[in-house]
Chains A and B, each alone.
Chain A
């Protein structure tokens, strides 16, 4: 288990050195998108149209934050459960995205896409919304404001703490961790 400080956009050189279980403090610009936004983004990709942001090297955060209090860039902002994005993530990775932040296990298709396209699935601590919200220094809705908490936001993070769950070698921290601590009668 190693600890890295990485800044977005991520390169394949960045992602290929990471292993499941590594801790990464992420800084730079990342983009938020949940279920409804993913559907729209993938529809645009498939129609060959321009996206609201550059996918190359991008990190997508699966989050629907609380509204900001006056003077704050964002409210509480922890990860949502990722499997709901499983059908969209391989397309995002194929078109240049290099990272996803969420919580909970992913499908085999997503894990395979991480290996093929050099992408990483990071886990952030679910329910640590106050802590993680404070690591976000600015936030701006750049697409689909009508989706409310599900709108696409461009956010700037500083030392945002994440753990590598699925790496580019097919490893899965959820499986590895569970096998290590499972007690079989």
Chain B
């Protein structure tokens, strides 16, 4: 059994939070650059130019890319042969999150659902983090992190279709969600689509799909083809950068699919803004 110090996890998570808030990942930066070159609308082109300039300023001056520094979302794979020494893994991730948000002057955006009271003063900075655990083989801990903003989360939607809806029904639903969203989720966006599973499995899959690096292709050729079709359909909507009209509404569509019940076809669409702040470490 391998032992990892509690404090090592806290520090690793803290560093992920701090770095991700100010450094746009290379895959996202490259995808935006390509979008700027291909965008036909001069207005949208200028918006994307500002986004790249923003990324340069954020990196060089260590300023948050966006004032919405998000809720901290983690997907954690814990090896069966690893033990945290001196505390619980969940606590270490939460402590690292709080320290990262505080030390880097990030915004505390977590609040009570109805009173809207900010939870910074009771639980700590931007807690609790949203953590999805999985148990896997081995003696390592694999942590994927993303700072998830509210604007793009607000337009996300899930629906359980009857099986007869098929691929066409799913494509139409994705188009409808993005069309209704317009400029609100800060396009050019990445679209995570969870297909199959149960209601909640589809939702979690659509979230996890957003953690995949831009520019990568789905391992399943059928899904890779569906991603292409959806991206094409979305970009025909004409929404453009920040909704100002253009040909590059989405940078990518990422699908995660699962086997499902014979009676249902669950679909979830989770949207990520252009500031796709995500990172990945293995301890």
Binding site for B on A (CB under 8 A): 1, 21, 36, 63-69, 75-78, 80-81, 83, 103-105, 123, 125-134, 148-149, 161, 163, 173-174, 176-185
Chain A residues whose CB sits within 8 angstroms of the CB of B182 once the complex forms: 104-105, 174, 178
30 A–B pairs (Cβ distance < 8 Å), ordered by A: A64-B67, A65-B67, A65-B107, A66-B67, A66-B105, A76-B66, A81-B151, A81-B154, A83-B184, A105-B243, A126-B151, A127-B65, A127-B68, A128-B66, A129-B58, A129-B64, A129-B65, A130-B22, A130-B57, A130-B58, A133-B63, A133-B67, A173-B43, A177-B246, A178-B182, A180-B41, A181-B238, A181-B240, A181-B246, A185-B236
Complex Cα gap A123–B118 (Å): 27
Closest Cβ–Cβ distance, residue B118 to chain A (whole Å): 5
217-272 of chain B: CB within 8 A of chain A = 236-240, 242-247
Binding site for A on B (CB under 8 A): 22, 40-41, 43-44, 47, 50-51, 53-54, 57-58, 61, 63-69, 105-109, 116, 118, 120, 149-151, 154, 182-184, 186, 236-240, 242-247, 273-275
Chain A residues whose CB sits within 8 angstroms of the CB of B47 once the complex forms: 125
Closest Cβ–Cβ distance, residue A104 to chain B (whole Å): 4
Contact A131 B57 (CB under 8 A): yes
Chain A residues whose CB sits within 8 angstroms of the CB of B40 once the complex forms: 181
Contact A177 B105 (CB under 8 A): no
Contact A123 B242 (CB under 8 A): yes
A-B pairs, top 3 by smallest CB distance, nearest first, are A177-B245, A182-B238, A181-B238
Complex Cα gap A132–B68 (Å): 13
Complex Cα gap A22–B219 (Å): 45
Complex Cα gap A64–B107 (Å): 9
A75-B105 contact given A174-B244, A178-B237, CB 8 Å threshold: yes
Contact A182 B66 (CB under 8 A): no
Chain B residues whose CB sits within 8 angstroms of the CB of A75 once the complex forms: 63-64, 67, 105, 107
Q: Of B51, B65, B105, B244, which one neighbours A163 at CB under 8 angstroms?
A: B244
Contact A126 B107 (CB under 8 A): no
Complex Cα gap A68–B105 (Å): 7
Complex Cα gap A77–B65 (Å): 9
Contact A161 B184 (CB under 8 A): no
User: What residue of chain A has the Cβ atom nearest to residue B59's Cβ?
Assistant: A130
User: What residue of chain B has the Cβ atom nearest to residue A77's Cβ?
Assistant: B67
Q: Of A83, A129, A177, A184, which one neighbours B244 at CB under 8 angstroms?
A: A177
Contact B41 A177 (CB under 8 A): yes
Chain A residues whose CB sits within 8 angstroms of the CB of B108 once the complex forms: 148-149
User: What residue of chain B has the Cβ atom nearest to residue A180's Cβ?
Assistant: B245
Contact A178 B64 (CB under 8 A): no
Chain B residues whose CB sits within 8 angstroms of the CB of A128 once the complex forms: 50-51, 53-54, 66
Contact A173 B244 (CB under 8 A): yes
What 13 additional pairs, Cβ within 8 angstroms, besides A68-B105, A129-B67, A174-B243? A75-B67, A80-B68, A125-B47, A127-B66, A130-B54, A133-B63, A148-B108, A163-B43, A174-B182, A177-B41, A177-B243, A181-B245, A185-B236
Contact B54 A149 (CB under 8 A): no
Chain B residues whose CB sits within 8 angstroms of the CB of A78 once the complex forms: 66-68
Complex Cα gap A130–B56 (Å): 9
Chain A residues whose CB sits within 8 angstroms of the CB of B247 once the complex forms: 181
Contact B186 A126 (CB under 8 A): yes
Contact B53 A131 (CB under 8 A): yes
Complex Cα gap A179–B182 (Å): 12
Complex Cα gap A83–B185 (Å): 12
User: What residue of chain A has the Cβ atom nearest to residue B154's Cβ?
Assistant: A81
Complex Cα gap A74–B150 (Å): 21
Q: Of B105, B150, B242, B246, which one neighbours A125 at CB under 8 angstroms?
A: B242
Q: Of B66, B149, B184, B238, which one neighbours A178 at CB under 8 angstroms?
A: B238
Chain A residues whose CB sits within 8 angstroms of the CB of B245 once the complex forms: 173-174, 176-181
Chain B residues whose CB sits within 8 angstroms of the CB of A1 once the complex forms: 43
